[in-house]
Structure 1
């Protein structure tokens, strides 16, 4: 009888390198939160730390976690990240990406909406996730608390608006009427409503379908639909006194509405009355529109690199502006009327005089004036006003801005001057995709490469040790001893980095004429091999050069070149030092003898180029994978293909054998990390956590952990645990879990069939648990 083999499980142990992530079509990825209260008072015995502790902090979305930063010190105080919980079938799903955050008015609760449709409420006093709401089928794209903090309203990519009771920790109602993603929501509290009641409260929602809808929570119906925006409506906000509603749309217009309950002729059914538009300085859509908590300023962030701050004029000032505008208009019309009279056209003169009599109402331009513009080097993905009052009298307000390049900046808006940048958090992360990772020989340091150079990280705690500016790194490797590292760049250079000093050393100019795609270290530590898009494989030898100061420093010299007919995509030297394998753009792999560079084997079979390959520690097996999504296992003695395995849903970008085994890891553009047995050709584990294509992979010398780098700018560590698992059991659990995900509520009709007034529904969501619970009833 065959014994069923047990394997040891790998699980995510750490993730680092991400400061801030925003989504281009979802507002609200950051918010200010009160100063820390979770620590004991003993920590702050003297006055200075106590003052520092009183500073408000910034909660910023960073993939699946929310980081809470002290901006002045540039330190992350804590992170809000839910513990992974296995589902009913024992499968632990990847933690979903956080899409938006909102803080309650008193500041002690932060709501986080996620890409799986769940909403978690975190208490900042004890950093516990107290409540999880599940009401959306897809991403939560908008979140807002009511002014008293008793209600939370959420909008999703599934076009539904759901209202939650924060105190009772339950869903109240689902409002269905929009036909596309909800982009923003806000609650308007009527003056008559009591805090626990829904009557007198309204929800206003914007959507990509181009409508703005007003929902009465008492009747749970849509009472007003505003149209005429000629495109998507992206964001809205209501001022703190709940008298004005400003809506940002797909174009450069801000639409202002009067929602004041005390105005003459106020209609409960149609509370929004159009006041007109204000043309923004920036072109393109308005992504986020938010009032300052005082109501004196309005921030409008576009889809580009600009944030406009408008000053909201007071009542008297707006009245003066209105009178001046009407006076100018009267004078213009009077001149027009006189001109018509001189020409003898009495009807036109009468019409002109009647027209200026009608235009007496206040317009949007009377209340808003552009005060300042913050411009950043890269695109913005969100902003938030600070709630603390500024210390200086000339400072109007403070704003934090989340940028597309994995960084956050804080700016002071100064009266009649250019805004000043106060703080920036950018060092603990790469500005773009992590394209290469390498582990030091002692497995204590990780080197990661991106478009503007490399960073060195401590494996133990994920701290960024050094940042070295350089070219666009595509591959990296540590030199023997671990004190130096080499980086192959897109420009064709090979850079040599002193790891301890964090500096680049001088090396031979332009090693290659095309991108350097791969390195392979010679087993005797005498040098290395580089593979490039210039159709060459070059051999290099380590040397010690005397510098200007007389000290000897590490360098390398060119030894010999192997010319190929096609671009070389990857290369490996077998651990016994006898064979050199290269992968070419013509879909083949070629194997040569290292000593003579004579041709040995050609490996045919891939339908598209093999982007990566690796050789096992015993020099018996070669595994290759690439753009055809397949992994092929070859025998190195005869070059026969043992098996072709369909491995990923997109191109396989890297694979590595675990040292001294025939197990291997592969990563791909489908965001997955997979673990395989190359003898049995079985998929052992699928590791989900990355939120972008996974570009690179490094395995520790003992195989006890794996490092992966991704397009989501995160670097993740996967650790081998002591928990055994069986392949068949694992696959069965995963299938059952996927079945559960596929359950949907067949009673809910599609949004396209909804009546004009919308419809209300249950706030919860159907799954296996709810079906089983209902069965006995």
Structure 2
């Protein structure tokens, strides 16, 4: 797919370099397509340039979606002109953030208001690494000036510096447990082979005096953590080896050695979990290596196909150990669930290498610094995009509550659950019941579902229980609707329409053919039913008599009605047919998908339509112009469901239970 996107990007770039005369709408759509193509290639800066060039008068939902996608951060703080932030740390109490910069300064900000409270000068070259002491009273910094400095956090005064122990740049500094020692890694040139030697040094945290030197290997040492309560030192190197040393004796306790592999596996980043049991390593092989700190045993290796596509420069655990973040040359920050190593968020916004990561003390924010000259803050409570898995087969329809916070998920799996859209966590578990379709009452209090067994169910979501199971259909039921005017459930199956009430016998309306889907007009005076003979028929909800019949061009997979009730959208084959509900005439056919699909939905104002297809894309359509304004790629599965959850949010689902939500 990436080769196709590259070709598309080049073609669009060519068309952009010779644009149509004037800032036309056609040019705008070309710019949108170019921005999306470059986004999929992870060329964020190029994508932004095309998006920024879009004329303001044309900017619609597609532009605002891409604009939010291209920078998902909550806040951006640029470094002074010509400078770059290299490293970042948050104090133990979460109230201060220290940032090391290329202009040799350390800047202190208050958090979360980001007011600068100090700028410390002491280094003579770029500051490359920082670490707060456990009590938060001291900060240690290391730089390319071969110097380690310890600062008083309260006053900003330099307590001591050590430059005599180092002849090359400092790669990482780290306070040990109890703040008694500081681990430092660097390298030195030698007059005999090996010409380069990496090493770790342990300094006295009070005086800066060198306590111990441990030579590692013939490559720079790049990362260091204390383990086993400060009894051991784990050092990672560019020479593809991670080694645990016993402090004092310097004896090797274990090695994690990748030097025999054909590819280059230098380790560029390291962090220790809060409980001290697990080590994260970011490597030049584009992988995240997860080790047991006591033994060096490999617990998990996150491969490029599931994680990063370039060298990993930064890794960081959250304070509670539930999450960890990784980042590097591919400009993307990935956030992982530490319990199962599943990827939770992909954070896009930086346009160059991400060099440093730091979590807030409560885990609600993640901070990052990049070679693009910015510091960014990411809201972990309300990220732009979320992804999660809810079942193995389905959901086949995704009714969303009126407040846009939850959705019901009728799946073939034996479970009926209402999920939180933002977290993906179960909100209401209704029990081991499968489902084919569903519809919510207007107030979100009741849910109607049906399944393969022909049983229609009505659920009370406030009390989390089934009100009644309606039996009578002789085959699977593919369509249900909740009639708010009478608090009844409508269902279509076999060759009947049935109107169910919890306390009365159902009304059975014979139908002329096998039905599939059913939707209500917003005023609920009419209902629309699709049939296997490629027709949609409308019926009066007063007497259940047929009103009109519309002939479709292909079999219908899904249909939705606009909020104002004027337009019915029918996904038929690869096309979407738009029908005027008053005249019964086809208004337009939207053609652009390469395969058929089931996902379809209107925006709250009715101006836009979203569609999802087996071609692994979703599309946005501006109905006021009758144009596809965005084709969004990047899905590894078919897009089975696609809908707006509010004016600034969409929910996408696959037929394998994978859900993705976006809010901007």
The bucket for the TM-score relative to the shorter chain is 0.3 to 0.5
TM-score by length of 1: 0.39
Greater CA radius of gyration, 1 or 2?
1
